[in-house]
């Protein structure tokens, strides 16, 4: 994202974490408004998806992240962290994906 846009972008985006707090293959859960989000870094890229599994109630931050595959801790559905798609059931509904960007040591998300 172009740095000259940050002034207007920050009106739409919410700061969620310092870049240094999210190492590669790490995940954190954040609350933005009423939405629980999962912020994850894999292969150097930061992604933001629903923090709660679309199958039943499970916090995905307690699951596993392997490359781009996010595994639910409860019934082990697998989602693609890049686009929220279901890779493996029992879940059949994709996760919502949120715009995220990283700049000047900060991670921002648009909900």
Residue ranges in contact with ligand FES by CB under 6 A: 53, 55-56, 58, 72, 74-75, 77, 90-91
32 pairs with which residues across the strands?
35
86 pairs with which residues across the strands?
79
CA atoms of 111 and 95, how far apart (whole Å): 13
Q: Which is nearer to ligand FES, 91 or 107 (by Cβ)?
A: 91
Where does residue 44 rank: exposed (0-12), middle (13-18), buried (19+ CB within 10 A)? exposed
Short-list 2, 23, 80, CA closest to 71? 80
Q: Which is nearer to ligand FES, 22 or 58 (by Cβ)?
A: 58
Q: Which is nearer to ligand FES, 92 or 104 (by Cβ)?
A: 92
Nearest-approach distance from CB 71 to ligand FES, in angstroms: 9
Nearest-approach distance from CB 70 to ligand FES, in angstroms: 10
Nearest-approach distance from CB 63 to ligand FES, in angstroms: 8
Nearest-approach distance from CB 84 to ligand FES, in angstroms: 13
Q: Which is nearer to ligand FES, 72 or 100 (by Cβ)?
A: 72
């Amino acid at each position: 994202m172009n740095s000259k846009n940050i002034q207007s972008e920050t009106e739409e985006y919410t700061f969620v974490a310092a870049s240094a707090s999210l190492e590669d293959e790490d995940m954190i859960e954040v609350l933005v408004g009423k939405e629980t989000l999962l912020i994850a870094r894999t292969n150097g890229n930061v992604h933001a998806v629903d923090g709660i599994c679309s199958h039943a109630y499970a916090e995905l931050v307690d699951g596993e992240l392997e490359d781009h595959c996010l595994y639910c801790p409860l019934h082990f559905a697998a989602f693609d962290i890049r686009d929220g798609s279901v890779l493996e059931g029992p879940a059949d509904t994709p996760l919502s994906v949120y715009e995220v960007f990283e700049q000047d040591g900060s991670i921002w998300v648009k909900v």
